[in-house]
Amino acid sequence: MSQDHVAIVFAEPDIAARRLPSATLEANFGDIHPPLDRHEARVAADRCLFCWDAPCVTACPTGIDIPLFIRQIAAGNPLVAAKTILDANIMGGMCARVCPTETLCEQACVREAAEGAPVKIGLLQRHATDALMESGRQPYRQGTPTGRNVAVVGAGPAGLSCAHKLATLGHEVTLYEAREKPAGLNEYGIAAYKTPNDFAAREAEFILGVGGIALKTGVALGRDITLETLRTEHDAVFLALGLSAVNALGLGEEALDGVEDAVAFIARLRQAKDPGEIAIGRRVVVIGGGMTAIDMATQARRLGAEDVTIVYRRGPESMAASRYEQELAQTNGVLIRHWLKPKALVAAGGRVTGVTFEYTQAQDGRLTGTGETLNLPCDQAFKAIGQAPGGFPALALEGGRIRVDAERRTSLAGVWAGGDCIAGGQDLTVAAVEDGKQAALSIDRALAARATA
């Protein structure tokens, strides 16, 4: 047995599918935030003060003209409002569902400061974008052809945003995606109850419907294509590679059954036709403090796990997950324990049966262990301690991620990058969308300058 495993044996692991009736599972994985109807949207829109300096716009990474689209909803024009939103953020529909509005636009809302109750910006944004999606209209089309072709690697939020903007500017785009479906973490990595009814796939189809974008799935950089080949065959390259590697606990977990990567589990659950087919333990421990940890723990409870605990090494104020998301997990019956770090895995017969944690404390700004330990029994232990980028040969890096300038240009001529793979990013869908948009505008300027040189 590895020295990282403790010879303490808890109860036999209990992992099973269909812990809950189908009707309960359907309700648990239905829409967590039911959309506003027409009347509710008009009432919510009427609360907007239409501030001339609109702090909510400044707080939005994509700069959506929020007072304008809310005014358009109030006037009974949700389709026009949707165009206002999508002109700034082509993934406005997804961002309305997953964006941490409580720490961005809604936190900046004047109503929040004055009354503690902001305008429901996220729900109003969803109301407008859903109306457009349901109408079947496509307000965008490929621009006048320029004769240029740009390679976009990665069909997640940054890649789709870049490809769409480039297409509207008249460039042909070849979009390479390593997985079978586009949309990246929107398709594979977000809690199923946040985006039910295949919304990520439908939004990707809408974005690709602009024309001029050739999607090639199952093609991975470094395995099927090289960066040098892309530079040779295309006029410019945009890298939207995301974070492909998962951080390890370093406790020899790869040798044990029952220790799983939360990102992979969420992807499996997202792709399941029926959540009931996914097995879950009665006792689940999730290690981490970000959105992945919250989504993993909350979904474990909704699958029927009876005892779910998130364990985080620092205090609640240091968790990457917003206060709202922490409360969401807690209201779903998840226990969040702080000031504990994993020290060893408890195993029996090659399976994890628990995790030993060491209590921590902050001393002079550094996290240290106290020497006191706690054993938590579990059937499954999920790692949610962050993801890391893969290798980026020939590119200057910063903290392991691609270094870019304000226009998302990399150190390599003709190559831009954006999304989670770049240094200094926010690891948010909305920030990735903005990266893609700004990179596309920069690429367009560079290609125009090259044509006139």
Residue 379 belongs to a domain: yes
338 vs 360: CA distance, rounded Å: 9
- Rounded to whole angstroms, how far apart are CA atoms 230 and 100? 35
Contact 335, 309 (CB under 8 A): yes
CB 308 within 8 A of CB 300: yes
* Angle value at C-alpha 409, between 203 and 418, nearest 5 degrees: 30
Residue 20: name the closest of 332, 271, 306, 267 by CA.
306
Domain boundary among 342, 369, 386: 386
In a domain? residue 355: yes
Residue 143 lies in a domain: no
Q: Output the six-digit token pair for 438.
A: 């700004």
Question: In this structure, what CATH number is given to the domain that contains residue 58?
Answer: 1.10.1060.10
Mark whether 366 and 260 lie in a shared domain: yes
- Residues of the domain holding 157: 149-244+389-452
Does any domain span residue 263? yes
Are 397 and 377 in a shared domain?
Answer: no
Task: Kindly state whether residues 18 and 78 are assigned to the same domain.
Answer: no
Q: Which is nearest to 200 in space by CA: 115, 95, 105?
A: 95
Residues 20, 80: one domain?
Answer: no
Residue 144 lies in a domain: no
Instruction: Show the tokens assigned to 142.
Output: 């490929």
Element (H, E) at 186: helix 185-188
11, part of any domain: yes
Q: Based on the domain organization, do 46 and 130 belong to the same domain?
A: yes
**Judgement on whether residues 175 and 96 belong to the same structural domain of the protein:** no
Both structure tokens of 21: 């009736």
Is there a contact between 334 and 287 (Cβ–Cβ < 8 Å)?
A: no
pTM over 0.85: yes
- Do 239 and 261 have their domain in common? no
Q: What is the DSSP string of 205-230?
A: HHHHTTSSEEEEES--BTTTB-HHHH
- Indicate whether 117 and 221 sit together in one domain: no
Q: What was the pLDDT predicted at 365?
A: 85
Indicate if 370 and 274 belong to the same structural domain.
Answer: yes
Report the C-alpha gap between 223 and 110 in whole angstroms. 50
Single residue among 354, 386, 418 that ends a domain in this structure: 386
- Return the CATH number at 380: 3.50.50.60
* CA angle in degrees (0–180, nearest 5) for 185-429-98: 85
Residues 373 and 408 in one domain: no
pLDDT tens digit at each of 453 positions of the chain: 444 655 555 667 899 999 999 999 999 999 998 899 999 999 999 999 999 999 999 999 999 999 999 999 999 999 999 999 999 999 999 999 999 999 999 999 999 999 999 999 999 999 999 999 999 999 999 999 999 999 999 999 999 999 999 999 999 999 999 999 999 999 999 999 999 999 999 999 999 999 999 999 999 999 999 999 999 999 999 999 998 778 889 998 888 999 999 999 999 999 999 999 999 999 999 999 999 999 999 999 999 999 999 999 999 999 999 999 999 999 999 999 999 999 999 999 999 999 999 999 999 889 999 999 999 999 999 999 988 877 776 899 998 899 999 999 999 999 999 999 999 888 899 999 999 999 999 999 999 998 887
Residue 264 CB partners (closer than 8 Å, separation 6+):
246
Asked whether 240 and 389 are in contact (CB, 8 A), the reply is no
- Do 192 and 239 have their domain in common? yes
Q: Which two tokens stand for residue 67?
A: 């007072």
User: Is 140 within the bounds of a domain?
Assistant: no
Total tally of structural domains belonging to the chain: 3
**Is residue 141 domain-resident?**
no
Q: How far apart are CA 295 and CA 301, in angstroms?
A: 10
Amino acid, single-letter form, for residue 122: G
Cα–Cα distance measured from residue 117 to residue 94, given in angstroms and rounded to the nearest whole number: 23
Q: Is 20 helix (H, G, I), strand (E, B) or coil?
A: coil
Contact 239, 415 (CB under 8 A): yes
DSSP letters, 363-423, are ETTEEEEEEEEEEEE-SEEEE-S-EE----TTS-EETTEE---TT-B-SSTTEEE-GGGBT
Choose the final residue of a domain: 106, 135, 164: 135
Same-domain pairing of 75 and 116:
yes
